[in-house]
Structure 1
């Protein structure tokens, strides 16, 4: 971590520093075209704390920079390289971790772009030391939904050979020449202006409530990517759940959203979820079948069943994880990442979403409940494979209800209770669906074992037990749905 010591000044639009009297002479000069994209949460959490996070191209310090408040005019700075082929919208994990405690569930997205025409000049004192760097900047700021801003400013930054006294003397000479001393405020804070003072007031709109939930899922995808790449524990699961929540929320509240933007996004999020599903499903299935094997009496385990389960499912996990990492390296994922960022920076809500949250969202929540109960009722009238399929559809609708209630809980007093009740439904029906997947995989494993001249008796025992678990789960699901329906009323 480096310490940056500088002072800032404002010049008239046509002002220029031509000399510093006897204090210092102007040495070598260089001109740069700089472009800095600043990242923050939608609520400007970092800027409100005096923290700046940017990606800069051009100049001698090209890269990612995180600047933290220090003592007086000093700021602590951390950096990271811009990696080849990396997305310009992805904050390096090495910097993200330093602000994670502050940003919480909020994503990090571009909030402003600053284009700077910079002239850098060495300031040399009479004994020949280059004690500081004079930066004269013509700044142009671009923000979504706002007119560009422009100003001129001067920064004087101490070099390794400089001392605080040098900085004080140079600053005094600049003021004597008409430069106006400025607070130690970043360009970003100047660019954001009144936005930093603004706070939401009154009853929240549907757009604000749902938008905050969507942003939280984008943040989870952002934050877990590095861990997913190295297959860290639970990382794939968390990222996959975020994709499911995101897709479901876009669908449940699609009446409030611009379909031309959200429908293509839903399709791409589905693709990402499918890629995450490969290693996650293998992981879950291994845990489920291993636990089922542990429950069998020793005499029921005939042949190298555990070794076969472990080898086959570990191989499946490894293969699908390699495919997942390749997907994260693809142009398709980079395009998706850009779409996710735009979901936060330019929310696609229709005017109807500007109404009071509870009033706008209540009819949509009633629809989510009806969808579950209709599918469940249909499953109870069916038998065999048709019943299994309809129960699975009911589970999908229950997940949509669960995620929807999670999203709108700030607008409804009973929102959290309803979300918990629907979570119980999804977990119960999830057990039933897991048994379906487990039985399919057990048949495949039995075929592999048979081809290897291994006994297949135990696979049949496990199959029967999974079938019994499915019946038990369906019995419990009906009770859970009735409880969730009452909690949602």
Structure 2
């Protein structure tokens, strides 16, 4: 096990009968240790009965002690802000604001006490002959008990936290670390105390089966893909609840999950898969109402910024922004309301259950070792091409929209098989290109419709001028024509 980096706090496990070395013996005469404080505290960890918070890498605890009493929620790295606090308040009920932040992680489940950790902590400060602080060492003995059935019962352990001070030159700190490890200290390998008390994280998503396993390879691939989308649903749930506004990633996750259920429909129990897909569609529609306005706001802001000033007449930028932002805020409020409701939490529970206990169709269970991923990918690709051909032949915008949805399904199917063949990886690239082309056409059609609506209303408002609305509308018409031509070129090559 390698030593921990110098210059930042480091944690070490030590035996319970271990003693701190003499600073003068380690660093030379004049170096002394002072005990700053000795404290006792109790931390109660909260989680669902299924350990959903632990599996996600989040910890929720109630700490009581002389200096740090209160509620504390720690989220995984990459989700900002990563740490949330709430005052002591009730000692039995999780504060509403923290309960709301983890309700998606908990999938609507009740939060119960999962472990209690009692701590006896002494903080030592090592200084040089001038009194400058070299390090602070926190020596902590912990006694833990787990409440969750089946949890690891680790009764007690002792750990050190070493934090360099202003005078903590790397050479001195390395000398201290060497003395600690020579005396039996080992770098702590477990980051979360909750993990240490309760055991490992939740079961990992299913892996690809080896030859001879009972689950067919294509089913394991599909379930692993669904597990990745389930993880995205939870991660993006937390980001939305902590202030992020971009719903694109979670919307894509719902689409990928629905596409997998549709393309590989024969693998799963039809009623269960259909019900799950329908709930994903409901959630995706709520996300779409927000995302569509975000896309259009960016689109119009860019288009107006690119126009010469003399062609921008009247308060057109404010008119468009006010209209779209108002719709976006209303859609976001509807989304937040839904995410606080039972239907949404039931969707998250269904997603987890689908991954943990896949409802395989009887024929799938009998077809041990069968492999139909390639044929499913190819079938999805043929369907996308047929729909594109029909749309281009008829010039029907609605059919182009249907072709776009089929293209997404073909792309996601190819993504699932991309690890198996170069042909699938090439299909991912090709269908992604077509998806972007058809997406540009769809965005132009939506933008043009809005411009017609807002432009037609200018005659009743003397402060407005329809001139710039007309210019923007003409630009959208040209963009749609270019996108259609690009789709035709794509089809000639694919």
Per the normalisation by structure 2, the TM-score is 0.63
365, 380, 383: which one aligns with 2:392: 380
Contact in 1 for aligned 2:154/2:197 (Cα 8 Å): no
Describe the SS at the equivalent of 2:229: helix
**CA shift at 1:401, angstroms?**
0.4
Question: 1:240 Cα deviation (Å)?
Answer: 1.3
Q: Is residue 264 of structure 2 the alignment partner of residue 256 of structure 1? A: no
Residue 366 of structure 1: how far off its partner (Å): 2.1
Residue in 1 that maps onto 2:50? 37
Could you say if the C-alpha distance between residues 119 and 221 of structure 1 is closer, same or farther in structure 2, counting changes exceeding 3 Å?
closer
**TM superposition shift of 1:187:** 5.4
Q: CA deviation at 1:292?
A: 2.4
1:412 aligned residue (416, 421, 440)? 421
Distance 1:155 1:290, change over 3 A: closer
Q: How does 1:131-210 map to 2 (within 5 A)?
A: 140-141=149-150, 155-156=155-156, 188=199, 202=210, 205-210=217-222
2:478 and 2:432 map into 1 onto residues whose CA distance is: 22
Instruction: Determine whether 1:461 maps to 2:471.
Output: yes
Counterpart Cα distance in 1 of 2:118 and 2:408 = 61
- Seen in structure 2, the aligned counterparts of structure 1 residues 481 and 220 have a Cα distance that, compared at 3 Å, is farther
For 1:428, the equivalent position in structure 2 comes to 437
CA contact under 8 A between 2:411 and 2:427: conserved in structure 1? yes
Partner residue in 1 for 2:81 = none
Give the Cα–Cα distance (whole angstroms) in 2 for the partners of residues 38 and 320 of structure 1: 32
Q: How far apart are residue 368 of structure 1 and its match? A: 0.8
1:302 match: secondary structure: coil
Q: Using a 3 Å threshold, how does the CA distance of structure 1 residues 451 and 363 change in structure 2: closer, same or farther?
A: same
**Contact 2:49/2:112 (8 A) holds in 1:** yes
Deviation at 1:306? Answer: 1.5
Q: Which runs of 5+ in 1 are unaligned?
A: 9-33, 47-51, 69-77, 93-107, 124-130, 143-150, 160-183
Change (3 A) 1:457 1:343: same
Q: 1:335 to 1:471 in 2, by over 3 A?
A: same
- Equivalent in 394, 408, 422 of residue 399 of structure 1: 408
* 1:243 pairs with 2:251: no
Does the Cα contact within 8 Å between 2:145 and 2:197 map onto a contact in 1?
no
The aligned residue for residue 220 of structure 1 is 232
**1:89–1:338 contact (8 Å) kept in structure 2:** no
**CA root-mean-square deviation:** 4.8
Q: Quick check: 1:389 aligned with 2:401?
A: no
Cα 1:215–1:89 shift into 2, 3 Å: farther
Q: Secondary structure at the match of 1:37?
A: coil
Q: Structure 1 pair 91/64, CA: closer, same or farther in 2 (3 Å)? A: farther
Superposed CA deviations along residues 68-114 of structure 1, whole A, max 9, x for unmatched, are 9xxxxxxxxx999845565987448xxxxxxxxxxxxxxx999xx99
Q: Is the 8 A contact 2:297 2:321 kept in 1?
A: yes
Q: CA deviation at 1:247?
A: 1.4
Q: Provide the aligned length of Structure 1 versus Structure 2.
A: 379
1:411 Cα deviation from its structure 2 partner: 2.4
Distance 1:302 1:458 in 2: 6
How far apart are residue 202 of structure 1 and its match?
Answer: 2.9
